[in-house]
Amino acid sequence: MAKVVLVYPPAIFGKKEGLGLPPLGILYLASFLKKKGISVAVIDALIQGHALEELLDEILKNDPEIVGLSAMTCQILPALEIASGLRKKKPTLRIIVGGHHINATKGELFGFTNDVDFLFYGEGEREFYTLVTALDKKEPLEKIRGLIFKKNGAVVINEPPLPIIDLDELPFPDLDLLKIDAYDIYYAKSLPMTSLLASRGCPYNCIYCSASMVQGKKFRQRSPVNVVDEIEHNYKKYGIKQFAVKDSTFTADKKWVYAICSEIQKRNLKIHWTCNSRANLLDEDLLKAMKKSGCYFIAFGIESGSQKILDVLRKGIMVQEVKEGLALCKKMGMKRIGTFMIGNPTETEADARETLQMIKNLDLDLAFTFATIAYPGTPIYEWAVQNKALFDRFWYMKRTEVAFAGNWETNGTLKLEGFSQEKVMEMVKKANKSFYFRPSFIWGRIKELRGIAGIKRNYRSLKKLLWKKK
């Protein structure tokens, strides 16, 4: 059977990310292949910081017959450079690109490269394995769900994969395939650490997000016993006590969350864990149960302090609900992080000032503000194309054509009437610096630092956020 190497590309070659979490998408694929007896290796080039030639050498030393590249939009151009380099060095390789970007753009990538053989979209564990075996046996490809390929010069897009209903059937992400000591994050209480996915699917309709394109809108959950089995496995085998639960909205089903918390306590697992939530999906009893089982930190995608903009974004939440939910978390002793966006469709400077005021008033433990980016596959992207609010509809494929400010990603910001892209970036920078340079914040962080490692982690986090090139 073919040897497979799965690669998580860097966003910038030669830049080692000081902080990051294991890439669960390709890790699930790899673990499924490994369980089926296929030789597979995983390379997380985002965290390892490979230069291009160094990465090509590491891939090829595994002597693969198939290389899979999983890319978000910010990784798609490096993925194509990897594909081109591999094609020159080993023309017989089968090269596959999948991930969020392909879910959003389907067969579009074939218009930008001749170095990729196949594209893959949708939930891929079972179907990727089917493709590997079909290539080995030289079987027809037309019935492999999620596969995109070229036939007689035409792009063929097969039917999407069916969702995996019983997620307990999937093997746990195999951490032996990664250098687990390479991972760290600014809020970690202990190392080593890992990420965990307890559910798939997102039932919400936020227009800036494409999460449901990969996993669908139906909320599917692993059983509480299966989730905690994975926690206990990693706790005992690797000594991992820190878990980042990466579900889009972990608290969407309170009864299920209670069951997970109860199972953690029943097994007496002394762990630390974090999750994502919406401010209107919490109550005092739920927070008590979460805290008792080791949760100490909850992330909220708050996005805006303007009700007008929240409605435009289809967040389905009121500003007052945000305030009440965050206040409840503070009362219960939970750390709270909020993320915000400036430069949304129809937004004005006055709307953005409401966001800056909310950031100040919420008294969060951490807050990150970004410029809104029109990523392909999202309703915001479609709005931007229809309203000619992008400098180029294929901005993400044009790293060298910088719209302004010298940063590739800002090419995807919106051109808004009366609210320039330069002004948006100015307000983003103001929001972040005014939050992190407050004396109360600095003193609070100093009191919480845990040794030299903690000082270094906080320095890397702030440097990445506040001093990167804009």
- pLDDT tens sequence across 124-137: 999 999 999 999 99
Q: What is the mean pLDDT of residues 440-464?
A: 59
If asked whether residues 200 and 346 sit together in one domain, one would say: yes
pLDDT band at 266 (very low <50, low <70, confident <90, very high): very high
- The pLDDT, as a whole number, for residue 468 is 47
Q: How far apart are CA 126 and CA 29, in angstroms?
A: 8
247 with 346, same domain: the answer is yes
Contact 341, 370 (CB under 8 A): yes
- Is 281 within a domain? yes
CA distances from 290 to 178, 226, 254, 298, 437 (A): 29, 18, 11, 10, 31
Please check whether residues 203 and 312 belong to one and the same domain. Answer: yes
Query: How many structural domains are present in the chain?
Result: 2
Same domain, 104 and 189: no
The share of the chain scoring above pLDDT 70, in percent, equals 91
Please give the helix or strand (H or E) that residue 454 lies within, else none: helix 451-466
Residue pLDDT, tens place only, 60-109: 999 999 999 999 999 999 999 999 999 999 999 999 999 999 999 999 99
> Buried b / exposed e across 372-404, counting CB within 10 Å, b at 16+?
bbbbbbbbbbebbeeeebbbeeebbbeeeeebe
The answer to whether 342 and 355 have CB atoms below 8 angstroms apart is yes
- DSSP assigned state of 70: E
**Has residue 470 got a pLDDT over 60?**
no
Do 317 and 442 have their domain in common? yes
Q: Give a yes or no: residue 290 inside a domain.
A: yes
Q: Is the pLDDT of residue 462 over 80?
A: no
Question: Under a CB-based contact definition with an 8 Å cutoff, are residues 340 and 370 in contact?
Answer: yes
* Mean pLDDT (whole number) for 279-308: 97
241 plus 129 within the same structural domain: no
pLDDT of residue 405: 46
Going 241 to 244 to 247 to 252, the CA torsion angle's sign is: positive
- Using N-to-C axis directions, what is the helix angle for 254-266 and 284-292, rounded to 10°? 30
Q: Indicate the residue among 116, 139, 157 that finishes a domain.
A: 157
Residue 168 lies in a domain: no
Answer whether residue 2 shows pLDDT above 90.
no
Question: Do 129 and 215 belong together in one domain?
Answer: no
Q: How many whole angstroms separate alpha carbon 374 and alpha carbon 394? A: 11
Domain containing residue 329: CATH number: 3.80.30.20
**Among the three residues 115, 139, 157, which one is the final residue of a domain in this structure?**
157
For 128-137, 266-275, 295-304, 439-448, which range has the lowest pLDDT when averaged over its residues? 439-448
371 shares its domain with 458: yes
Whether residue 57 is found in the same domain as residue 144: yes
The answer to whether residue 155 scores a pLDDT higher than 50 is: yes
For helices 254-266 and 224-238, angle between their N-to-C axes, nearest 10 degrees: 40
Q: Indicate if 151 and 210 belong to the same structural domain.
A: no
CA dihedral 82, 83, 86, 88 (to 10 degrees): -120
In a domain, 70, yes or no: yes
Domain residue limits at 8: 4-157
Residue 91, judged by CB atoms within 10 A of its CB (0-12, 13-18, 19+), counts as exposed
Q: What does the pLDDT read at residue 455?
A: 56
Burial label, 121 (beta-carbon count in 10 A; 0-12, 13-18, 19+):
buried
> Collapsing DSSP states into helix, strand and coil, what is residue 44?
strand
CA distance 217 to 195: 22
- Does any domain span residue 178? no
190 with 105, same domain: the answer is: no
Same domain as 42, residue 118: yes
Residue 222, domain member (yes or no): yes
Per-state percent for the chain, helix, strand, coil, to nearest 5? 45, 15, 40
**DSSP three-state, residue 338:** strand
pTM above 0.85, yes or no: yes
The verdict on residue 211 lying in a domain is: yes
- Kindly indicate the confidence band of residue 459, based on its pLDDT and cuts at 50, 70 and 90: low
User: What does the pLDDT read at residue 263?
Assistant: 98
Give per-residue pLDDT as tens, 210-226: 877 777 788 999 999 99
Helices and strands of the chain, counted as H and E runs = 17, 15
Task: Give CA torsion, residues 318, 321, 326, 330, to 10 deg.
Answer: 160
CATH code of the domain containing 51: 3.40.50.280
Interhelix angle 319-331/349-362, rounded to 10 degrees, is: 20
pLDDT tens by residue, 387-432: 999 989 999 998 754 444 446 667 899 999 999 999 999 999 999 9
Pseudo-torsion of CA 302, 370, 215, 278, nearest 10°? -10
Q: How confident is the model at residue 460 (pLDDT cuts 50, 70, 90)?
A: low
- By the 10 Å C-beta count (0-12 exposed, 13-18 middle, 19+ buried), 96 is classed as buried
- What is the H or E stretch that residue 285 is in? helix 284-292
Residue 201 burial (10 A CB sphere; 0-12, 13-18, 19+): buried
CA distances from 162 to 15, 33, 122, 145, 146 (A): 37, 18, 8, 8, 9
Q: pLDDT class for 467, splitting at 50, 70, 90?
A: very low
Size (the chain), residues? 470
Peptide bond into 192 cis (omega under 30): yes
- What is the DSSP code string of 204-224? ---TT--HHHHH-SS-EE--H
* pLDDT interval class at 151 (50, 70, 90): very high
Provide the pLDDT for residue 217. 80
High-pLDDT (> 90) share of the chain, %: 83
**For the chain, what is the mean pLDDT?**
92
pLDDT at 269: 98
* 166 in a structural domain: no
What residues pair up with 242 in beta bridges, in sequence order? Answer: 193, 272
